[in-house]
Structure 1
């Protein structure tokens, strides 16, 4: 790098650092002013300021490393995640004391029955981002390593590395082979191409190994719970209270509601409103429910068939439609629309991407969905789907700091 280029880099770093400092002050101010409030507006303000701060840090990182070094940063990330997965399978996360005290490489290698040299080489990559090394080759937990002990987080990590990281690496090969366009076939897409599923869909393939399917489900449930804050984006009680209801009125049908975590939260949000709450999913899914769901009716239903509940006030579908291509989504929506009346409304709780400047989560989630023909959508794309299903988009509810939202629709 010549002097002029180096000075330009210093200027870029200085500007980025100033923005990070400003963003940090803003984040601290918002936290102080929110006072730990749990209302949606306060959560949104904190989330937005944190998102802005992280964006600034990413800009600072790019400026500090420069264009060439950022290419190698991608290789570093691959090596890091590979090392973490190996250490996870090795058992180091469980072996290290939870009180933060350290263990030597000798002790760990002996107790885990692994080669000491291999352990040290893997830990060399994971320190200090993940583990601490207070003394040479003495390792201890940090908050960043302990989070992997949570079954849902661990399941999500294994799922992304085991199922989707290889798929991302094969994207170019798939598109060269099948054409440069978004995949639409459930049996011919980047996922099935990479895993050589022999005619099985992604959904069928992950069920082949019952033990792995449990991990897969744990990851999906963890992600659903992690984004459960978005359920309250729609004012269920306020809207339902505007209508006269009885104990027999069907207030909400949670279509494809899984194990009922969201349904239970919706029920709480409908507090004091007379009426019924129905959880729908395939019978085999409902059989796996172990949690008590008081005052929630369970109903076996496949959303690729007409909804058996006629005239509910709200049909609610959350984190389902992004799994499917446009054709299947229209079919699912038509099977809900055919049971709606003029007083019914449909709520789609999903990511609603902006037309530009999508956040990191929205972008990588869309890419992940694409590998098996799914899609994260913009408001315009949601509107197009609804129109094709005989529905009209009425309003999109959202909050600052996240692309998660609720799309409200009625019959046309």
Structure 2
């Protein structure tokens, strides 16, 4: 066989890897991008997302497969490494404090206690990837991206998610090969456990590596800029939950199950301070004990959602981005415990999760599904999967699925059938 042919298909020459992906599509894409930009409304996120997808398609049309491969293996992996370095040593905080001025590598290195030659190499690559502005030899100005990295909600994800779980992603092929290329559904057997030779789940692993707070910061920030689920344009909290809610002294209005450190509950309380009844945050002791600041209106409760739900007859039970961490048979237990506590005709269960479309899924949706696949042996679910899990398996009724755009979690509103309380 000729050396310039691929082993998979001898009729395809290896030279295809050195040709642009789809150069003929460039004129059309440029025209569409120009038209979309002219009508872009800064107040609407969906057109901007569509424009971004087309801009990426333009890059892929011009880029060769070899360049795509090198971008992935050298460029993007290098960026993740360099950005995490900057987060950990305080580079991005220092640059932001210095302001929008040219900043010398030697000055920054001295302020950080970092080897200037090391910092020079780090900043050179980040600039080459377009994320930092080079204004002269060893001089750089910050960008909106690097200025954002100073905030824990943005920067700390590179440590709390990428740095201490990345082995699971990079070695997922080995994990899959060893298990016969089957879709994983066992939460006690994950690519993360295999890569790091541990029996710890992802959250315990990250916490024990010393990055628990970094992960909490990331979880509190990945939805920045998105419309919150409790916004009236998304889900009508007043109409669906507050109206008709019990106003008694012992009534419970909202139970956030597996609610981390209370991000959602605090936002709900700030948005609807007049909502009647108690607000209860539930999570494992490890998580509850990490809470540093929480609105005093919120009751903290240590709870494992695989156990019986201790709060009965609440107006609202809420589960945000939790069920996607678990395979169906574990979700069965979680939902059964909620259902047993619900008061039919009164209680509502809100599941705040992504509903994967059957076609044209957004890259944020598929990207998060890959995180679930590699870290949890679980998945993001389609509408059909949610109906199967919630109605057929758990015996709850879905009243409505509320959605707010591409790549954003929906609100699946559920109720318990009458006669089961």
TM range (shorter): 0.7 to 0.9
What does 1:197-276 correspond to in 2, within 5 Å?
197=198, 199-209=199-209, 211-223=210-222, 229-232=228-231, 233-243=234-244, 245-248=246-249, 249-276=251-278
Report how far residue 260 of structure 1 moved. Answer: 2.0
Inter-partner Cα distance in structure 1 for 2:373 and 2:23 = 39
Of 320-329 and 224-233, the range deviating more from structure 2: 224-233
Which residue of structure 1 lines up, in the alignment, with residue 54 of structure 2?
56
Residues 379 and 396 in structure 1, CA contact (< 8 A), matched pair in contact too: no
Inter-partner Cα distance in structure 1 for 2:222 and 2:298 = 22
Report how far residue 61 of structure 1 moved. Answer: 0.8
Residues 319 and 349 in structure 1, CA contact (< 8 A), matched pair in contact too: yes
Inter-partner Cα distance in structure 2 for 1:91 and 1:241 = 45
Report how far residue 11 of structure 1 moved. Answer: 3.4
Which residue of structure 2 lines up, in the alignment, with residue 304 of structure 1?
306
- Secondary structure of the 1:52 match is helix
The answer to whether structure 1 residue 141 and structure 2 residue 142 are counterparts is yes
Kindly tell me the number of residue pairs found equivalent between the two proteins. Answer: 393
Residues 13, 348 of structure 1: alpha-carbon distance in 2 compared, 3 angstrom cutoff: same
Inter-partner Cα distance in structure 2 for 1:354 and 1:333 = 23
What does 1:275-290 correspond to in 2, within 5 Å?
275-290=277-292
Asked which structure has the greater RCO (Cα within 8 Å, sep 6+), the reply is 1
Inter-partner Cα distance in structure 2 for 1:57 and 1:88 = 28
Residues 350 and 404 in structure 1, CA contact (< 8 A), matched pair in contact too: yes
Residues 20 and 60 in structure 1, CA contact (< 8 A), matched pair in contact too: no
Inter-partner Cα distance in structure 2 for 1:82 and 1:165 = 11
The answer to whether structure 1 residue 102 and structure 2 residue 124 are counterparts is no
* From 23, 40, 57, the counterpart of 2:36: 23
The answer to whether structure 1 residue 352 and structure 2 residue 363 are counterparts is no
Deviations 1:318-369 (A, max 9, x none): 1211121111111100010011121222110111111121111111111111
- Secondary structure of the 2:208 match is coil
Inter-partner Cα distance in structure 1 for 2:83 and 2:290 = 31
Of 100-109 and 17-26, the range deviating more from structure 2: 100-109
Residues 289, 226 of structure 1: alpha-carbon distance in 2 compared, 3 angstrom cutoff: farther
Report how far residue 63 of structure 1 moved. Answer: 1.2
TM-score, normalised to structure 2, is: 0.84
Report how far residue 224 of structure 1 moved. Answer: 5.8
Residues 273, 79 of structure 1: alpha-carbon distance in 2 compared, 3 angstrom cutoff: closer
Residues 310 and 340 in structure 1, CA contact (< 8 A), matched pair in contact too: yes
Inter-partner Cα distance in structure 2 for 1:69 and 1:78 = 14
TM-score, normalised to structure 1, is: 0.86
Which residue of structure 1 lines up, in the alignment, with residue 389 of structure 2?
385
Report how far residue 51 of structure 1 moved. Answer: 0.9
Report how far residue 88 of structure 1 moved. Answer: 4.1
- List runs of 5+ in structure 2 lacking aligned partners: 1-13
Inter-partner Cα distance in structure 1 for 2:206 and 2:344 = 40
Inter-partner Cα distance in structure 2 for 1:172 and 1:348 = 32
* RMSD across aligned positions (CA): 2.8
Inter-partner Cα distance in structure 2 for 1:111 and 1:408 = 52
Residues 270, 177 of structure 1: alpha-carbon distance in 2 compared, 3 angstrom cutoff: same
- Secondary structure of the 1:254 match is strand
Report how far residue 72 of structure 1 moved. Answer: 2.8
Inter-partner Cα distance in structure 1 for 2:108 and 2:242 = 60
- Secondary structure of the 2:149 match is helix
Inter-partner Cα distance in structure 1 for 2:21 and 2:337 = 58
Inter-partner Cα distance in structure 2 for 1:206 and 1:10 = 44
Report how far residue 289 of structure 1 moved. Answer: 3.2
Deviations 1:85-139 (A, max 9, x none): 3444455334445212223344445555555444333322111522222112222
Which residue of structure 2 lines up, in the alignment, with residue 397 of structure 1?
402
Residues 337, 120 of structure 1: alpha-carbon distance in 2 compared, 3 angstrom cutoff: same
What does 1:142-157 correspond to in 2, within 5 Å?
142-157=143-158
Which residue of structure 2 lines up, in the alignment, with residue 326 of structure 1?
328
Residues 231, 182 of structure 1: alpha-carbon distance in 2 compared, 3 angstrom cutoff: farther
Residues 395, 207 of structure 1: alpha-carbon distance in 2 compared, 3 angstrom cutoff: same
Residues 402 and 411 in structure 2, CA contact (< 8 A), matched pair in contact too: yes
Residues 353 and 409 in structure 2, CA contact (< 8 A), matched pair in contact too: yes
Residues 155 and 216 in structure 1, CA contact (< 8 A), matched pair in contact too: yes
Deviations 1:52-89 (A, max 9, x none): 11111011111121444333332222233233334444
